[in-house]
Amino acid sequence: MLMPLRLAVLIVLFFAFPAGAADRTIYLTFDDGPLTGTSNILDVLEAEQVPATLFMVGMHAQANGLNKALVQRAKRMPLVTIGNHSYSHAYNHYRHFYGDTEGVVADMLRANAVLGLKPSVHARLPGRDVFRLLSMSKNDTSLGLAEEGREDPDYEFVAASGFYLYGWDHEWVHENSGKPVQTVDHLVSEIDHLFGYGRFVKPGKLILLMHDEMFQDVFDGKANLTALIKALKLRGYTFGAISGYDG
């Protein structure tokens, strides 16, 4: 017996759009730029007209003329927020970097100067899933006992120096080369499941961590990011500017 048309439509909508997805917000964030891949990110954000935050590294921003131009282009885009991701990215030596709280602040302030940012600044510490916002705080629960007490700076002091610190809820993982690990379909499925469980720092708000190097042409970066945004739109998710996250 044929299924009634109305029931068939309802079933399709049920599976195509997670329940309550219109009230569920995704915050797209990109770390480590400007790098190869940043231009593709900006192209896609402009084409799709969605907000995003680019947490930039000061050392990368002043590396060459092309990178400086990418920073200025991003600043001209109304839906793009430039965030601070440190000047040095700790030179990837986190134990030394986080053993000196005043050094961390000095590094972040140096990035402010390079990027042209003024307090209070949206920021993400290199390698740390840490939140320090007006309404809440959260430490990086992935740190082992070896790091705890030796590498953790006084995050309150860092925040009080003019920074709102943001971690993340989920990551589009990448290999050392920058190649994305999950396919777009797999990532969207993970996001659906996360909203099903609702395990976020802020209810109904998912901060998605990505890295600029993932979106190089060699990895079909522009096509992948476009596909992700279109798939999330199709499923009814909304996109938020980081300035509204703590509201």
Burial class of 62 by CB neighbour count within 10 A (0 to 12, 13 to 18, 19+): middle
pLDDT value, residue 132: 97
Average pLDDT over residues 163-179: 97
CA 76 to chain centre: 19
**Per-residue confidence (pLDDT) for residue 199, from 0 to 100:** 82
Q: What is the amino acid identity at position 197?
A: Y
**What secondary structure, in 3-state letters, does the chain show?**
CCCCHHHHHHHHHHHHCCCCHHHCEEEEEEEEECCCCHHHHHHHHHHHCCCEEEEECHHHHCCCHHHHHHHHHHHHCCCEEEEECCCCHHHHCHHHHCCCHHHHHHHHHHHHHHHCCCCCEEECCCCCCCEECCCCEECCCCCCCCCCCCCCCCHHHHHHCCEEECCCCEECCECCCCCECCCHHHHHHHHHHHHHHCCCCECCEEEEEEEHHHHCHHHCHHHHHHHHHHHHHHCCCEECCHHHCCC
CA 150 to chain CA centroid, Å, is: 26
What pLDDT shows up at residue 6?
A: 47
pLDDT exceeds cutoff 50 at 246 = yes
21-244, what's its fold? TIM Barrel (3.20.20)
Question: What pLDDT was estimated at residue 157?
Answer: 95
* pLDDT at residue 92, rounded to an integer: 87
Residues 6-46 pLDDT 10s: 444 334 444 444 445 447 999 999 999 999 999 999 999 99
Residue 31 CA from chain centroid, whole number: 6
User: Which of 14-18, 94-98, 114-118 has maximum average pLDDT?
Assistant: 114-118
Question: Mean pLDDT across the stretch 94-109?
Answer: 93
Domain ranges of the chain: 21-244
Place of tokens 């309150």: 156
**Is the distance from CB of 237 to CB of 21 less than 8 angstroms?**
yes
Residues 206-226: what's their mean pLDDT?
98
Q: What is the pLDDT of residue 16?
A: 45
pLDDT at 225 over 80: yes
Q: Give the Cα separation of 102 and 110 in Å (integer).
A: 12
Mean pLDDT of the chain: 90
Nearest to 130 by CA among 122, 139, 121: 139
